[in-house]
Amino acid sequence: MDELTGDVVDEGAPDSPGARTLHRILVAVAGGFGIPPEVEVAGDDSGGLVGTLRAADAGAVIGRGGEVIDAIQYLAAQAVSRAEGGGRRRVMIDAAEYRRTRADALTQLALRAAEEAVQYGEEIELDPMTPHDRRIVHLALKERTDVTTRSEGDEPRRRIIVEPAE
């Protein structure tokens, strides 16, 4: 327990300038949204940081289609990079298990698109997605040998094409 903020701090969290910066940012964000600052910062398997806001009603932090949480994540990643002397470190922000729920939905979408591509023998074009969401779709279909994926278009309208393998 951090005496200054009363928020939850993961005992296994990495002690680095980036982790401390991420923690302070999430506490400030929670306060700005009027949410009790219950925050957890932990390391992930690839050396990145995962910041989690725990709140009964985190809908405002997530925003429509995840726009708000994506913006917070982008800004937090920039601040973490600066705190660590400009080095790049993957930062993920989550609230109310939004990221896991979104990843599950995107994986199901990818699998359905792959099945349609194989069944009808033609390309399936998915709606535009954020880079994070596109990565989830590409990874969900990476092991499949019957389809290939590629990204097309320019941000923010970049989308994935799922097509039968040749």
| Sheet containing strand 124-125, strands side by side | 124-125, 159-164, 147-152
Average pLDDT over residues 20-46: 91
Q: What is the pTM of this model?
A: 0.78
Same domain, 104 and 128: yes
Same domain, 80 and 146: no
pLDDT band at 11 (very low <50, low <70, confident <90, very high): very low
Same domain, 47 and 60: yes
**In angstroms, how far is CA 98 from the centroid of its own chain?**
9
Domain holding 44, by residue range, is: 17-96
Same domain, 119 and 91: no
Do 161 and 124 contact (CB within 8 A), yes or no? yes
Alpha-carbon distance 7 to 25, whole Å?
13
- Closest Cα to residue 7, out of 41, 58, 34? 41
**DSSP 8-state code for residue 33:** T
Asked which of 47, 78, 96 is the last residue of a domain, the reply is 96
- The residues, ordered by sequence, that sit 6+ positions from 102 with a Cβ below 8 Å of its Cβ are 66, 133, 136
pLDDT tens digits along 67-97: 999 999 999 999 999 999 888 889 999 999 9
Q: Specify the CATH number for the domain of residue 129.
A: 3.30.1370.50
Q: Which two tokens stand for residue 50?
A: 């995962």
pLDDT tens digits along 89-103: 899 999 999 999 999
Asked which of 61, 96, 131 is the last residue of a domain, the reply is 96
